[in-house]
Structure formats: structure tokens, C-alpha cells
Amino acid sequence: MSEAVMGRCLCGSVRYQCEGELGPANYCHCEDCRKCTGSAFNVGVRVEARQFRIVKGSPRAFTKTGESGNSLTRHFCPDCGSPLYTTSPVHPDVLFVKAGCIDQPELVHPTHQTWMKSMVPWAAIPPGLTGFPKGRS
Ligand SMILES: [Zn+2]
Ligand SMILES: [Zn+2]
């Protein structure tokens, strides 16, 4: 049996565990994901609901009907606000964990991207953009 995948929010109030392999990850460029993450896109990792459990804390949830017409519930830490995962009543057997809150980021494998029609020009980092090993000093 493979080692459990662990994840947590920024403050550590909420922790979760995924048993078994993570599913494929996708980049979502939709406007709701941009608003929710505060970034150019979301990276969601597909996990079977039966593999997933909260081991610490109680996430809060916010439900909204997306542009697709499906309602999505976004679960986040009530203390620090970190987005953690998304569920949908249309697919109760799966959930999509935010890749950035997984403690073993090397296990995330993006396979596709969705909502390209809503993609912002700054979603892709141009090769050769000025970079610094740490913060800009
Ligand atoms: Zn937190
Ligand atoms: Zn999205």
C-alpha cells in the first residue's frame, strides 16, 4: 500500500489525507477559479471521495453555480481562508483537491487544461522572464 498523501491549509487548522494514488490534475482557467484562488488558474487534483478524509479541523464551504451551469462547492479553511478542495453534487464520488495545499507536490501530474476560452494572457510565464532564487531583493 502506498504512503498516504497529506495536505493542509496555510495555518494548519485543517488537515486531510488521501489514501492511494492521486488522480490526474488539471489546470482550470475559468473565472470562478481565478476569483477563488486569487491567481491566474486553479490546479485541481482528482481524488476518489472514498479515498479522502479530513483528519483535523472543519473546512467551511461556499456553493455557487458556475458558468457550466453546474453547482460547485468550494471548501476552505475558516481561519486562514486557504482554498482546499471542490465538490459537486453532479459527481458525489469524486472531489478536486487544490494542488498547492498537498504536502507532496511532486505527486501532482497535470494532464490537461480546461476553460481555455477564459484564460488570461498572464496565465503562462514567458520563458526568460527575469527571475530570482528567492524574493526580489
Ligand atoms: Zn488555515
Ligand atoms: Zn474552474
**Scanning the structure block, which residue is given the C-alpha cell 482528482?**
46
Separation between Cα atoms, residue 86 and residue 13, nearest integer Å: 18
List CB-based neighbours of ion ligand 1 within 5 Å: 9, 11, 13, 77, 79-80
pLDDT in tens, 82-100: 999 999 999 999 999 999 9
68: CB partners within 8 A, 6+ apart:
30
pLDDT of residue 137: 78
Q: Using the mean position of ligand 1's atoms as its centre, give its distance from the Cα of residue 12 in Å.
A: 5
pLDDT in tens, 4-14: 999 999 999 99
- Enter the pTM of the model: 0.93
pLDDT in tens, 50-83: 999 999 999 999 999 988 899 999 999 999 999 9
